[in-house]
């Protein structure tokens, strides 16, 4: 990678990481905290976790498309401002309903598509997966930090304090966008903008990838609705010490996933690695359903879940950016991010209903069933061939 590609990838990944750190800090503590709020139920807790995804789903496509028209950086700043406002709102109340409103506003700051599109603008295709993998690694690092720091911060400053800290991180992200992230040209291929946009972004190839990220996030939010209580009740670990499980599990799974990502890119074996990761995620959900009240089985299943999760965080956005027409890249990534966001919303809502009315193991069984459907869909995913020489283009600026 060139110096510009490295700088762009690192700084844009840091924006993603700051934002995701704020979100992830809540995951290991919110379900335990919220059950003590007035009028709390497992269903409402699930809605509070998932409503962020609904806000994202409403805004990903409009903001992704806006980034194609007005530039990536202005959209990122606007989205981070919304995210900060929602964070401060959620941190200013003990009402679960107001927290739900704040989480929805957080979600409306939907900048995933703009960030991913700018990474694609800033890197050559042969280095695209490396850049997306860097984002995935940053998300993974944010996840590890949050699983360690979340319970500790929850003990020290409480969940409202974590929400306020999330708002501060979003404001720091704006500073990085404005002063540190380098500008990048936006390339528009004239012949690829002809015809209706829907024919470019709702292709079978892209929809399979959109469905894939939907399932990944459905599984993730489902897991954190149930696992924290399982660690308390069945493993006997207090909430503030959950990092003792999460840290080794996530670090070891990350160490196993990264070589798989590199091998997939260098050897051209993305599809086998992707299918293997889907199978691992499905089996891990079955393992958690069967071993929910058995400490060793639960922790082993968590490990394998994070292996598959880390692989998907790197491979899927890279595949989308390479499959989408260059002129529709921001819009295609907006649709993809909408699938991601709907996964959070549906996962949180459905899992809350299942946990309340059927039982916690049913959450994992539902996830395993959905992952089995995903495995069938993923069998038809074909990594795109590398484009041979771009057609004549006009260059616009991304800032």
Instruction: Encode pLDDT of 5-22 as tens digits.
Output: 888 888 888 887 777 777
Looking at residue 393, its pLDDT comes to 44
3-state secondary structure of 188: strand
Q: Which residues of the chain have pLDDT under 50?
A: 189-192, 387-395, 397, 399
What is the rounded average pLDDT for all residues in the chain?
82
Show Cβ contacts of residue 382 under 8 Å, excluding neighbours closer than 6 positions: 205, 271
Rounded to the nearest 5°, which phi and psi values hold at 393? Answer: -140, 155
Query: Cα separation of 223 and 217, whole Å?
Result: 10
Tally DSSP H helices, then E strands, for the chain: 15, 2
Looking at residue 83, its pLDDT comes to 92
Looking at residue 189, its pLDDT comes to 41
Of 360, 368, 149, which Cα lies nearest the Cα of 234? 360
**Other residues' Cβ atoms within 10 Å of the Cβ of residue 237:** 18
Count Cβ neighbours within 10 Å for each residue of 22-37 and write b for 16 or more, e otherwise: bbbbbbbbbbbbbeeb
Residues pairing with 188 in the sheet: 394
Counting the structural domains of the chain, the total is 1
Show Cβ contacts of residue 204 under 8 Å, excluding neighbours closer than 6 positions: 380
Structure-token pair, residue 360: 């916690």
Q: Is residue 189 part of a domain?
A: no
Query: Cα separation of 369 and 353, whole Å?
Result: 16
3-state secondary structure of 397: strand
Q: Is residue 396 part of a domain?
A: no
Looking at residue 197, its pLDDT comes to 63
Scanning 91-127, the segments in alpha helix (DSSP H) are 96-108, 112-122
Contact 14, 138 (CB under 8 A): yes
Query: Cα separation of 131 and 358, whole Å?
Result: 42
Contact 87, 106 (CB under 8 A): yes
Contact 13, 70 (CB under 8 A): no
Q: Is residue 203 part of a domain?
A: yes
Indicate which CATH number applies to the domain containing 142. 1.20.1250.20
- The predicted-structure confidence for 106-153, as pLDDT tens digits, reads as follows 989 888 778 877 887 887 766 666 776 677 677 767 877 887 888 888
Q: Is residue 186 part of a domain?
A: no
Looking at residue 129, its pLDDT comes to 64
Q: Is residue 287 part of a domain?
A: yes
3-state secondary structure of 170: helix
Q: Is residue 389 part of a domain?
A: no
Per the structure, the complete domain to which residue 347 belongs is given by: 3-180+196-383
Looking at residue 225, its pLDDT comes to 83
Contact 12, 135 (CB under 8 A): yes
Would you mind telling me the total number of residues written for the chain in this entry?
Answer: 399
Question: Could you give the count of Cα atoms lying within 13 Å of 64 in the half-sphere of its Cβ?
Answer: 25
Looking at residue 386, its pLDDT comes to 56
Q: Is residue 26 part of a domain?
A: yes
Query: Cα separation of 134 and 12, whole Å?
Result: 10
Query: Cα separation of 32 and 222, whole Å?
Result: 14
> Helix 128-156 to helix 27-34 angle, to the nearest 10 degrees?
40
Query: Cα separation of 99 and 77, whole Å?
Result: 23
Looking at residue 191, its pLDDT comes to 41
Q: Is residue 160 part of a domain?
A: yes
Q: Which pTM does this prediction carry?
A: 0.75
Of 229, 190, 301, 202, which Cα lies nearest the Cα of 33? 229
């Amino acid at each position: 990678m060139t110096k510009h590609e490295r700088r762009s990838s690192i700084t844009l990944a840091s924006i993603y990481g700051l934002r995701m750190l704020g979100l992830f800090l809540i995951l290991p503590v919110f379900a335990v905290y919220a059950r003590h709020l007035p009028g709390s139920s497992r269903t409402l807790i699930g809605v509070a976790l998932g409503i962020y995804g609904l806000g994202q789903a409403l805004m990903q496509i409009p903001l992704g498309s806006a980034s194609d028209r007005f530039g990536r950086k202005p959209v990122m700043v606007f989205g981070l401002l919304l995210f900060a406002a929602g964070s401060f709102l959620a941190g200013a109340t003990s009402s679960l309903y107001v927290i739900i409103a704040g989480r929805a506003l957080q979600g409306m700051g939907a900048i995933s598509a703009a960030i991913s599109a700018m990474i694609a603008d800033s890197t050559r295709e042969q280095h695209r997966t490396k850049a997306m993998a860097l984002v995935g690694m940053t998300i993974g690092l944010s996840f590890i930090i949050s699983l360690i720091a979340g319970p500790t911060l929850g003990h020290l400053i409480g969940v409202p304090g974590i929400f306020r800290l999330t708002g501060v991180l979003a404001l720091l992200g704006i500073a990085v966008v404005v002063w540190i992230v380098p500008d990048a040209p936006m390339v528009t291929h004239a012949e690829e903008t002809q015809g209706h946009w829907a024919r470019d972004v709702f292709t079978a190839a892209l929809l399979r990838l959109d469905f894939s990220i939907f399932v990944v996030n459905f599984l993730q939010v489902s897991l954190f609705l149930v696992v924290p209580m399982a660690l308390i009740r069945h493993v006997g670990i207090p909430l503030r010490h959950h990092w003792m499980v999460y840290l080794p599990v996530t670090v070891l799974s990350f160490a196993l996933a990264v070589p798989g990502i590199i091998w997939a890119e260098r050897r051209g074996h993305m599809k086998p690695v992707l299918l293997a990761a889907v199978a691992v995620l499905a089996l891990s959900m079955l393992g958690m359903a069967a071993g929910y009240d058995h400490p060793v089985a639960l922790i082993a299943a968590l490990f394998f879940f994070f292996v598959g999760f880390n692989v998907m965080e790197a491979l899927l956005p890279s595949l989308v950016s390479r499959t989408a027409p260059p002129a529709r890249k921001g819009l295609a990534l907006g649709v993809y991010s909408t699938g991601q966001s709907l996964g959070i919303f549906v996962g949180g809502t459905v899992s809350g209903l299942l946990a309340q009315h059927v039982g916690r193991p049913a959450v994992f069984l539902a996830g395993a069933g959905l992952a089995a459907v995903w495995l069938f869909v993923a069998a038809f995913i074909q990594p795109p061939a590398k484009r041979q020489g771009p057609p004549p283009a006009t260059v616009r600026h991304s800032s």
